[in-house]
Amino acid sequence: MSALLESPFLGIAMTVAAYWIGVKLQKKTGLVICNYMVISVTLLVTVLTVFHIPYEAYFQGGSVINMFLGPATACMAVSIYSKIELLKKNWLPILVGCTVGVLTSIGSILVMCHLFGLDREMTASLLPKSVTTPIATVVSQDHGGIVAITVAAVMVTGILGNLIAPYLVKLFRVKDPLAVGLGIGASSHAVGTARAMEMGETEGAMSGLAIGLCGIITAVCALFFDVFL
């Protein structure tokens, strides 16, 4: 058992198996609540808890998968490049839209943290919740936040975006695929972008673009976080 816990293959196998089960259940049921990300996370937490597997043992393999997060995000540039003409024609609305998205996200978190009386550490942990994990963790750490809480907030934000984005698009009758993609990418980063790619090529490309732009804008805004914290 100790040899198994010390092996990175434990975390890799658990993650792949949980994801596979999640995808299968979502396809079979077609229910919103049976989202593959929700199922995967729930299964992993349940197994770790029931079998008393230390998170450190799991993360030996989980960190290997986590290592591919950056390159996977960078690969979205391929779909963005395929829409380069659309990007050139709409560069100003794209830039303004991503900027407004970042400011809205940061502003809403600041307001709610002050309303609920959260301390500086917790506020710093939640501020970068809407950008991709590699950027969010660095921003949080640099401002005294708790990285574990930041990661959890990023995951919850992404999963919620993945779950409800299509319904919000229908509810507000957003017809422009460029606007749909930017909205999803700006609010729910890579996990939301996975759903945007299912909705269409343009939606996926613009959502991927929003991840990068919003990450850069958030990193710039982070220079002024200390003023508000």
According to the model, what pLDDT value does residue 68 have?
Answer: 80
Asked if the model's pLDDT at residue 229 lies above 90, the reply is no
Query: 65-79, 89-103, 106-120: which range is least confident on average?
Result: 65-79
According to the model, what pLDDT value does residue 81 have?
Answer: 85
Asked if the model's pLDDT at residue 89 lies above 90, the reply is yes
Query: 8-12, 65-69, 171-175, 201-205: which range is least confident on average?
Result: 65-69
What is the C-alpha to C-alpha distance for residues 178 and 81, in angstroms, rounded to an integer?
14
Instruction: Provide DSSP, 20-31.
Output: HHHHHHHHHH--
Long-range pairs, 140-149, Cβ under 8 A, ≥24: 142/222, 143/222, 143/225, 143/226, 143/229, 144/120, 145/121, 146/121, 146/122, 149/122, 149/125
What is the C-alpha to C-alpha distance for residues 63 and 70, in angstroms, rounded to an integer?
12
According to the model, what pLDDT value does residue 1 have?
Answer: 60
Asked if the model's pLDDT at residue 2 lies above 70, the reply is no
According to the model, what pLDDT value does residue 3 have?
Answer: 65
pTM: 0.80
Asked if the model's pLDDT at residue 45 lies above 70, the reply is yes
More confident residue, 212 or 79: 212
Report the candidate in 193, 218, 211 with the shortest Cα–Cα distance to residue 143: 218
Q: What is the mean pLDDT of residues 1-15?
A: 78
The number of beta carbons lying within 10 Å of the beta carbon of residue 197 is 18
